[in-house]
Structure 1
Amino acid sequence: MDHPPGHAPATAPEQALHSNCNHPMTMHDAVTHPTLAPGLAHSRFLARLFQRDPQLADRTAQQLDTPFDIAQMQALLATPADDEAAFKRQLRQLRQAVMARLIARELAGLSDLDEALATVSALADLTVRKALDWAVHHEMRHGRPIGAESGREQALIVVGMGKLGGSELNVSSDIDLIFVYDEAGETDGERRIGNQEYFTLIGKKLIHLLADPTEDGFAFRVDMRLRPFGDAGALVSSFAALENYLLTQGREWERYAWIKGRALTGDDQGLMQLITPFVYRKYLDYGAYASMRELHSQIRREVARRDMADNIKLGPGGIREIEFIGQVFQLIRGGRVKSLRERGTRSTLRELAALKLLPDDAVAELLTAYTFLRNLEHRLMYIDDAQTQMLPAGAEDRQRIAASMGFSDWAAFCEALERHRAAVTRHFEQVFVLPDGQDQNHPHAPLWRDAHNGESTAQGLARLGYADAAEIQRRLALFRGSSRYQQLSERSQRRLDAVLPPLIEVAAGHPNPDATLIRILDLLEHIGRRESYLALLAEHPQTLKRLASLYSASPWVSEYLTRHPILLDELLDSRLLYQEPDWHAAADALRRELAELDGDVEAKMDLLRHFQHTQVFRLVAQDIAGLLPLERLSDHLSDLADLILAAVMDEAWRDLARRHTDTPAFTAIGYGKLGGKELGYASDLDLVFVYDDAHPEAAETYARYAKKIVNWLSTPTAAGTLYDIDLRLRPNGSSGLLVSTLEAFEQYQCEAAWVWEHQALTRARFVAGDPQIGRSFEAVRCAVLRRARALPQLAAEVIAMRERMLETHPARAGDVKYCRGGIVDVEFIVQYLVLGYAHAHVDLTANRGNIALLGTAAAHGLIDPELAGSARDTYRALRRLQHTSRLSGDTLAPEALAPLASGLASVRALWQALLGEVI
């Protein structure tokens, strides 16, 4: 791979096979197998191989129809080598055999890029492992290395970096390696040495076996410069030394390099546990844009300095730019999205398309260009087995390249090449473009830069439309002069300086500019020390308008987003932000992500919270944009709660220490707003837990299970909480058991429950758990609700319950919930209708919501249709007012209900008609 600018390229060892490169062998000089003609016409290296070893030509021709798989490679190394020279010969002759068939197959049109990458990568993996085994086996003087802490034998971990790590090695590449071992200690032989010295000996021997030029050439050139401290560093590192280096010295380009790091030998799991936190940050790391942009600029300068515009890897629109596109998304999101921790470039690009992080057509163009450029790279290397990505200057080699790439002449080939490179450059610039405003030339930059200059800044703010411009100027000056701003890093200050002027401008475009900007300033003060969030806003100016729109619309939303700034990422893609949810697909995706975190309870709890916050934020954005009717919004919020509860119950059961069964016979029943599918943004969940299991340990097991479910749902973590849980509606309330058997629940409802508990049962439903118990619960619920009741006694109980509620929640004007004729009165009316008449009309037991049930009662002639219609409209309007009030943060004035006066009167009339009480 390419290394940071300033590092000299590796020098390839010269060898006999590479002599006389300017005097190619003719077909007659080499062999006369017709099937090998395309390869020989293109590759001087292949001609030299066959001239040296005609039998290789024969074998290659005979086996041309078959790819060179790992079993055939292993067969060629199966015979034990007597000495080092013989072993080296085996490795080199294996490479020659693999290269000969690969060149011949590809140029004859019998293979493709997939085969070439897989074959060469498999060859390198096998060669490294065999060479390491040989080196260890023949280094017996010092015994075996033993870990000082574990007392166990240690092994050298050979890490493949770059294209080798990604299993996409090119056909004449060197291999980038890093040598690591687990523990310090010493060997156990007669001549003891430290593990560091021992593994250094092994590492040197491994390099020598692979890269030492002999009459058969080399097996692989080896580059060790990606190790800690590069050429100046130790050849091998212990885990402790590597971890310390990454924590104290690791640079951004090393994060990028380690994306592809793969242990070819030894403890891959231990290595990844050490490397992963360095490469993949827990948060969304938008600072990677600037780091990758800087690294790319350094490479571009180096390319220009060395006149390498014709380099198809490093030049404009080259392979490296495609790799950078994939890897910047990996650095940004790989900490949260494990599926992005791919090592291969093409698999990464495909995953970006699947995650909708890049458009499908962009990924298709990039994949096509990548295939073209990698095929071209191989054909450049096939000519002389040279590690080159430079287009040839000579006419003869240009014609070889054009013909082998399927073009009639060099001009036609160049036209296609430039088309692919232009596409890569276009997509690269779209991802890495430097945002407007980074140069601090925004027209309103002085309002922030000179915020301390009170009069002129206030005048500028007033011209933009700020009502209390002096107060806004004071807030800006306080922020700019605060220790919080002054202590930011220079880069974070630049980013904040870049985003504030356009935010001042877009906030001014809203009806409440002062409140909008003040809320945004609260956010910026909150995230100021989190460089990644500032980077997100600075790198994606299109998010600023969406941010201001949401912060203008609702203080609840602004507080929610300020509390969970990780949701800023949702502002990037309006397609996802405003797309109505598909809960089945979302549940499947959540389960997959949870499965990837097997064993990490804390990470699972955080993932569930991030998921729930993201879905809520998308719904609130759609709500504010007017895309969701209130009933539909409540359905979605209730579906989300159902989904979360089901996932939590699955995970909590797995997390339970002692279980008497693999599958719990247990359900969660939703009451209240959850049961009636009328959840709001901040609603708690009213739950009752029921089980049906005769095992002697069931009661204890399910009690512990219920506690764990509540803990998973309500315990605060770094990511926040999921839901507040209310369990007081269970049998016997707060004094009752946390869980009930289905039989006990039925007995309680039939023999001991109060009327208000039956009222609550009208809005209960199975939410998650065992579906069979859910069906049994529904049968119990229906039977209880359909019991014949004396209407006068029922009316008295309902009125008494309403009176008790008024003692704690008086019926104040403007209180949409508790005012007479308001939300609670409608709910009580419906509950009375269900309890009073469901014995005759089974459809009243359906949990379809208050609006639908009023219609059902009217259809059965139980209430006046006109009053029912007015009550339905009033209930809907009251819920909308309640919802709007919560979003806006405003307390409703009494006059806010004036337009609903006749509707409230209809509800009161309906109450009087049914219950006989004037209210």
Structure 2
Amino acid sequence: MTDTPDAGLIKHLANSPIRAPSQKAAKSVAADLKPLAAEHSEIAAVLASDGAPREFLLAALALSPYLREIALIDPQSLALAVSVPAAYLVASTIGDARDSWRNADGTLATEAELMRHLRRAKRRVSLALALNDLARLTDARHTTAALSELADAALGAAFDHLLRGGHEAGKLTLPDPDNPSDNSGLIVLGMGKHGAHELNYSSDIDIVVFFDPAAGVVKDRDEATEVFARMVRRLVRIMQERTGDGYVFRTDLRLRPDPGSTPLAFPVYAAMNYYESRGQNWERAAYIKARPVAGDIEAGERFLQELVPFVFRKYLDFAAISDIHSIKRQIHAHRGFGDIAVKGHNVKLGRGGIREIEFFVQTQQLIAGGRMPKLRLRRTDEMLVALARARWIDTTTARLLVESYWYLRDVEHRIQMVRDEQSHTLPESEAELARIALMMGDVDTKSFGKSYVRVLTNVEQCYADLFEKEQGLSGGVGNLVFTGDDDDPGTLKTLADLGFERPSDIARVIRTWHYGRYRATQSKEARERLTELTPELLRVFGATKRADEALLRFDAFLSGLPAGIQLFSLIGNNPGLMSLMVTIMASAPRLADIISRKPHVFDGMLDPGLMAELPTRAYLAERLENFLEGAQAYEEVLDRLRIVALEQKFLIGVRLLTGAISAERAARSFSHLADLIIGAALEAVREGMEEAHGRIPGGRVAVLGMGKLGSYELSAGSDVDIILLYDHDPDGDDSDGPKPLDPVRYYTRMTQRLVAALSAPTAEGILYEVDLRLRPSGNKGPVATSIRAFSKYQAEEAWTWEHMALTRARAVCGDKSLCGEARALIDEVLARPRDRAKLLKDLTEMRTLIEQEKPPRDIWDVKLIPGGLIDIEFIAQYLSLTARAEGWQPAPEDDGAAGLLTGTDPDRIAQPVDHNECTSTDAMLKVLGPGALGEEITESLRHALALWSGHAQIVRLCTESGFAPKEAPAGLIDLVTRSGETPSLASLEAEFKATSRRVRTVFQQIMA
């Protein structure tokens, strides 16, 4: 570029470096310019020539609709651009813009006048720079610098106007009203490319505004924040409101500290406190390029000097370096741009693009800048040279990256020159890509693509060499920027593409994480780990059908977490766990609550064979034994029981949630676990009783499991129904310990201690809620029952419903001999002859009473609905009672060795006696149904039982309440439809209704 006043753009063109897309396009531009030539001799001179000047101008305006529009709206700017040297024209226009806040006589211009003048200046500078850039009379380095100077001038003029206006209105007292910004304490920092004099052709400007209350320009210091915040709001309007003259610069304020909860203008002391205590690594990177651009320049320089220890640390730990790398992954990676390409490639964020060069530089600045002040420069190209001089990189790499950087900036500028859009993406269509290729001076898209890919490949290789240990650094889910207050459009698009329906809300939530507003994210280390995880978390959350709800549930989980570093590290080092975490958050708030309260349960997920290994009784017994090993004190045993029980219940639930086990297997596993836990608790209680009170002569104890525990049908969160039976020598005395007790009080106290051991809340929670109401005489009877009293009660006093309950009873732990006697006694009671008519009458009355007192909520209340679980259980229990009375006896169960279980004392067992399989509802139907009801009806009932039980297992696992589709958490509907083997909720509802009718019909036929 020349500074000779009589040597404008046109006089320097011996050949046009670009050509129009077609003759038709060139003729169209010529037709548009013809009327302008009549009034502007400079334009007429160009059109009259038949050489390079005419060809160039028509090509430039044909390729860029934006430049063509400026020329038609403002022909004077075009006339100047083709006749006046760009350096002179741009400098004089910027100078005029800087003084446009006041009139020639020194009075304050109106805001409308200021806005009009700045917009016309932007238009004139944009046209002149674009034409000279396309003509190759200047380059991207000069274009970016001039655009940055124009932004400085516009901001300076606008803030001077606002300060002077505040002074004249009596709100401010300026030290020098003729130079409003001087000593005003108002600090305006240009960030990013603006700060580095590297603005894009159609770039936003990123600014941060601080003020020093000590400057004393605001009369009422209590109003200072609001006064300057209003000033910044007006500044944004002046800069970016679109009028008939266009706009100046879109203005972004999101890089200020914690923008979601701070004012637009920030006191300097508060800013320093923030950066010293909560400043994040991405903010350190942002401040590398920060520069005072308006307001009190000297105050801005002092502020940045004070920030040097924050930005350029003397030492940098590996976690911070990892966080810097994660910034690259968040901002750089674009889905679809993972591979080097031409069409649709993002020149800024795509692989091998501008961002990789910037991160190549900035990462090394953050690492070494604390020890080497020479590496604290702002401009990317200057820093590459400085890195080479400091021998951080070789000169060949520096030269290659500098050339690549300005080539890519050229491409970026041409993308934006087309329509003045803040885009960085090459067009997908051949015709639009050809436009960019021609503006770059290439003959066609093939030639352009070859050069473009070569540059990208070189950059990618340099970047990979720098971060060779960081695999997949350029891969990711998309543009993810959570800085500032306003939403980044690219980030919103990425979130929407990932599957989030309310991307703006999701962006706000994630900003909350990064600003450390939760206890779990207050530490720098926790934020670094979470920053690292965020892209993958979003990808996995986005894959769920209700991504927003899933992530909001995870947010609620984070908000209650006392600390986050352990969990973030755990799931960060185990990618499979992250997917599982998302599944839990999307479908199972009950499990999510367990994790939030007891994060240690997640440790069990580290077992690589977890999903492949079934949670059988032997599997669970081994883990329980290992965990209890070495525990001596009673309280320690109970605490360990709570820890292992919670973990194993969680892991059984996770297997069910992921489909690794069936609902039936989960029910059996929950029941096996309860057997083992109750047995271990009973042994601990027994040892405590014997230590305090000695032994009862001939004393024996057994625990009966009733209800769903007895029938192997426990679900997550189920209560346990138990009856404690005991026996002793009829002529025996009190216990033989230091504090003797008679047998009744002894076993009463043992029962009370067992209940407390299982259900008393401790720091580790509770094991199970315990229900003793199925004991003889219910709540009116003693809590412990002698075997003789139990036998007499069942023979003489028990109601029909109590015998129905006995069909599901089994001994779960205790002395082997007493367990066997209890089983025999129960079989004897159930085998007694029955009046079938009375039995049916009692069953009908009980079912009617239940329907009256506990009507079902809706079709999803599978326990209580007509034809639901209760109807099937009543049918099975009816079959069991009548079959036994007619001579049927259950066969011993192979699994469990007929109750012969291991233990140190051959007369005691700490595990349940599984005498037979016929305590479960399905077993009763399977064994008894075909003969009594026929194969078809039996299979129909078993299918219904599996449907209801599977649904109940999933719902109890995932929630504390019943299933309500309108309030169901994300993912739960998918789980219940999967459990019901239907494609949709509507199909499942139809299946439920049909199944309910079939079962109720069978029930009514039997009862009739």
What is the TM-score with the length of structure 2 in the denominator?
0.45
If you compute each CA radius of gyration, which structure gives the higher value, 1 or 2? 2
Q: Per chain length, whose mean CA-contact separation is higher, i.e. which structure has more relative contact order (CA < 8 Å, sep 6+)?
A: 2
